Structure 1
Amino acid sequence: MNADLLTTIGNVGFPIAVSVYLLVRFEGKLEALTLSINDLSSSIKSLLIKSDDK
């Protein structure tokens, strides 16, 4: 019984730990990408407004 529990934890625990680690890392990168896209959108809008004024 004890060996089965350890085997199950070993088989399931490692993929769960890797998944959690990757999700935490990707969350920060996605946040940075979202901010960059918003900044780019603002820059494009301001350029379009300036070109319309000419």
Structure 2
Amino acid sequence: MFKTEFIQGRNFETLCPLCQELANYVKWFNNQQIHGSLNYLTPVEFQRQTL
């Protein structure tokens, strides 16, 4: 999933833009992307339910 959603077709000239984009991707993945394996919740929502 990571390879197809984030990496595929992208090139980063330096490490700095890669780190910035990766941080944005992880934030989106954890807070906005729903996951079927988590009963169609985001990871953050799922974690809140289990606490």
Shorter-chain TM-score above 0.5: no
Q: Which protein has greater RCO, CA pairs closer than 8 Å, 6+ apart?
A: 2
CA radius of gyration, larger in: 1
Normalising to structure 1: TM-score of the pair? 0.36
Normalising to structure 2: TM-score of the pair? 0.38
Greater percentage in helix: 1
